[in-house]
């Protein structure tokens, strides 16, 4: 027998076995899947918490040090923006710099100890005083002053530059094929297809949620769910205990059961049943077994999505998780050391700028460098 035939035979056998599962076995299968996924979710949360607890003490000081120097640098930028003798092109560069810094401070999780809101309000006041409205950029070139860098930029014939680039690439067959293929499809079609796909996914998720809610409402209306609730309550009822400590534990358990009922948490109810009675509530579900199985299937799908898109809730934890979750052991230790060195270098560079930014004369060369970086960076985007 060939390997292909053997594989097909094995697949058919598995399919038959899957189809021959009894309703009780299907419930048990889905119930086991949900439990395994929940355990995996708890394990990932635990591993993420351990990672954050390990990494945070090693880099927090450097992360906060970086945001602090950015904050001070931003304050210095605002001071120079108000200098009347500062050329307009310098104010434009300072405005761009201000935008970059404010974006970092507002998004960085380790800037929470800084009064970023007050700094933003100060920035709005400065821009309003200079240009009449918050966030209104200045008009460059109004002062009529040029430096060597701006003159060099103006002397570049952009049309001639791109004309030469077009000539250099004219004989590129691969580029021609790409152009022909691109011309056959429009941007409108591309984005329309992407939007349609996104809308289909969203509708599918909405339908799944509606189906889950329908199954849940159906189960909640049955007397079998009340049977499960009452059976658990009989086992954990505080009146069955005479010992004060045990009675207190029973009160907590009963409170948990009532919360599960009030929140319509059927899965939680099944878990409490297994926890206190040692097995899944197959007999109590009776004719509702199929609906409960389908609900478990929806819950398993939801858990898979949550696992695939897991991220810690705290912004700082999420930041660290995204940076280091893929590493472990010596690699993780090396990545942490490298990250701290990078941060310390950034802090040293920013402190150097703070030391240099004491006069317009010293600020201009710094802004010339930033302007050149922006210009050639924009040019590289076209190349």
Cα–Cα distance for residue pair 154/143, rounded to 1 Å: 16
Whether residue 345 is contained in a domain is answered as yes
pLDDT at 331 over 90: yes
Span 258-285, average pLDDT:
85
Whether residue 78 is contained in a domain is answered as yes
Cα–Cα distance for residue pair 99/299, rounded to 1 Å: 44
Burial class (CB in 10 A: 0-12, 13-18, 19+), 23: middle
- Reported as a pLDDT band with limits 50, 70 and 90, residue 380 is very low
pLDDT at 3 over 50: no
Number of domains into which the chain is organized:
1
Tens of pLDDT, residue by residue over 126-185, are: 988 887 654 555 444 444 444 554 554 455 455 555 565 555 555 555 445 545 554 555
**Nearest C-alpha neighbor of 353 from the set 120, 91, 80:** 80
Whether residue 5 is contained in a domain is answered as no
Whether residue 300 is contained in a domain is answered as no
Q: What are the Cα distances from residue 59, in Å, to 53, 113, 324, 341, 342?
A: 11, 16, 12, 10, 11
Whether residue 45 is contained in a domain is answered as yes
Do the beta carbons of residue 102 and residue 119 sit within 8 Å? yes
Domain interval for residue 378: 33-145+325-382
Do the beta carbons of residue 357 and residue 86 sit within 8 Å? no
Q: Which one of 4-18, 81-95, 96-110, 148-162 scores highest in mean pLDDT?
A: 96-110
348 Cβ contact list (under 8 Å, min separation 6): none
Tens of pLDDT, residue by residue over 63-82, are: 999 999 999 999 999 999 99
Whether residue 118 is contained in a domain is answered as yes
Cα–Cα distance for residue pair 254/269, rounded to 1 Å: 12
pLDDT given for residue 163 in this prediction:
60
Whether residue 141 is contained in a domain is answered as yes
DSSP secondary structure letter of residue 164:
H
Whether residue 372 is contained in a domain is answered as yes
Cα–Cα distance for residue pair 237/253, rounded to 1 Å: 8
pTM above 0.85, yes or no: no
Q: Round the average pLDDT of the chain to a whole number and report it.
A: 80
Rg value, the chain, Cα: 32
pLDDT given for residue 299 in this prediction:
86
């Amino acid at each position: 027998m060939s390997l292909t035939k053997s594989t097909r035979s094995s697949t058919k056998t598995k399919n038959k076995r899957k189809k021959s599962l009894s309703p009780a076995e299907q419930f048990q299968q889905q119930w086991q899947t949900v439990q395994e996924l929940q355990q995996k979710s708890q394990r990932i949360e635990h591993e993420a918490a351990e990672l954050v607890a390990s990494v945070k003490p090693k880099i927090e000081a450097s992360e906060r040090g970086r945001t602090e120097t950015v904050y001070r640098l931003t304050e210095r930028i605002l001071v120079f923006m108000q200098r009347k003798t500062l050329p307009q092109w310098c104010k434009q560069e300072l405005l761009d710099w201000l935008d970059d810094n404010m974006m970092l401070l507002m998004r960085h999780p380790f800037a929470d100890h800084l009064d970023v809101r007050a700094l933003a309000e100060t920035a709005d006041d400065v821009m309003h005083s200079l240009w009449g409205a918050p966030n209104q950029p200045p008009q460059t070139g109004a002062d009529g002053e040029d430096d060597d860098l701006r003159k060099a930029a103006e002397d570049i014939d952009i049309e001639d530059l791109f004309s030469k680039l077009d000539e250099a690439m004219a004989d590129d067959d691969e580029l021609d094929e790409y152009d022909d293929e691109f011309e056959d499809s429009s941007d409108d079609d591309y984005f329309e297809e992407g939007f349609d796909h996104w809308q289909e996914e969203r509708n599918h998720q909405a339908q799944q949620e509606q189906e889950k809610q329908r199954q849940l409402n159906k189960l909640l209306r049955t007397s079998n769910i009340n049977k499960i609730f009452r059976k658990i309550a009989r086992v954990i009822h505080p009146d069955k205990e005479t010992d004060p400590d045990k009675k207190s534990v029973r009160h907590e358990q009963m409170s948990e059961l009532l919360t599960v009922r009030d929140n319509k948490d059927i899965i939680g109810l099944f878990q409490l049943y297994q926890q206190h009675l040692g097995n899944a509530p197959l007999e109590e579900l009776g004719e509702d077994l199929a609906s409960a199985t389908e609900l478990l299937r929806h819950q398993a799908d939801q858990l898979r999505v949550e696992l695939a898109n897991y991220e810690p809730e705290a912004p700082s934890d999420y930041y660290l998780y995204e940076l280091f979750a893929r590493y472990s052991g010596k690699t993780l230790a090396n990545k942490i050391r490298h990250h701290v060195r990078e941060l310390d270098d950034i802090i040293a560079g920013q402190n150097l700028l703070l030391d240099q930014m004491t006069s317009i004369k010293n600020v201009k060369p710094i802004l010339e460098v930033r302007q050149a970086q922006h210009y050639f960076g924009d040019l590289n985007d076209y190349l």
